[in-house]
Amino acid sequence: MQEVLDVSNDVAAELAGVGDGVLDALRDRLHCTILLRGNRLTIEGERVHVSEARAVVDELVELVEGGHEIGPGTVDAVLGAIDQAHDVREIFEDVVWRHRGKKIAPKTVNQKHYVDAIRNHTVTFAIGPAGTGKTYLAMALAVRALSEREVGRIILTRPAVEAGERLGFLPGDMLAKVDPYLRPLFDALYDMLDADRLTSYMEKGAIEVAPLAFMRGRTLNDSFIILDEAQNTSPEQMQMFLTRLGFGSKVVVTGDDTQIDLPREQASGLVSVQDILGTIDGIAFIRFGHEDVVRHKLVQRIVEAYRRHSEATGADRPR
């Protein structure tokens, strides 16, 4: 079966952008021959595959005409939305934060569920592999909440657990030593705020970035609190952190329970908390999979390969 579609210049440019990345993604995922010549898109293959490809292309056309940029990952998002009977525009048009013309919005159905969970729950856990947007989307929501005065401050924290390195061998005082652990959080903040505005927020204490150990003994009111890399907390640290929650605050905990840097015999607080708090109202658990990875396609394959290996070998940790 063959279908020929005439598309606008804007749509043709997006489909052919980034070295035909979108077209390659369509061919890879939809098992069709797809050719773009000028403004004419030709789809060939078995009837069921051509019909599915046409539905995806129609959604991509509407996204482009609605002002959205598309990429190879957009194809997966559209397929996921169609499979789960979601309106793909509802996902991409849920803009969490804008900065210098850049729009931060969910890119998969699961990311949309995650954003909604944070909005509707006091405590949200996001568990899944790297590249699924767990921390980035949470930080965008935090920056928005601070800018709209829904909270008085943002607190970002991580456990300073070595991944094959030792803090003691790093130069400088304690703050200099923990900087490498906190640097990814600063990088994301610079992506969302102008440098002078971020500096002003930090000088005023409206944004605080600190190791998890600095949270002990505090009560955090009127705050948007994000605990990143939570797989490297002990159960005691996780309990300590969660009991810092004060009035008017929101907590997001993110982590990847397949990348735990704790000693093998040490239980992870992120793993055990799912059994302890899984049924409590006001707490949401969102699980991401390899299909939610929005980095290079090869990252999805790496994540999935490690997951299969872990299941095959029964590699597990104490709870």
User: Which CATH number belongs to the domain containing residue 279 in this structure?
Assistant: 3.40.50.300
CATH, residue 26: 3.30.1370.10
Contacts of 57 (CB under 8 A, 6+ apart): 5, 26, 41, 43
Give the pLDDT of residue 85.
Answer: 58
Quote the pTM value: 0.75
Res 200 pLDDT > 90? yes
Report if residue 300 sits inside a domain.
yes
Tell me, yes or no, whether 319 lies in a domain.
no
Output the DSSP codes for 258-280. Answer: T---S-TTSPPHHHHHHHHHTT-
The reply to whether 141 and 64 lie within a common domain is no
Q: Taking all residues of the chain, what is their mean pLDDT, rounded to a whole number?
A: 85
Residue range(s) defining the domain that contains residue 15? 2-92
Least confident of 28-37, 246-255, 277-286: 28-37
In the predicted model, what is the mean pLDDT of residues 260-276?
91
Question: Tens digit of pLDDT for each residue in 108-163?
Answer: 888 989 999 999 999 999 999 988 899 999 999 999 999 999 999 999 998 876 44
Contacts of 145 (CB under 8 A, 6+ apart): 151, 154, 224, 250
Which of 92, 112, 142 is the endpoint of a domain? 92
In angstroms, the CA 198 to CA 218 distance is: 24
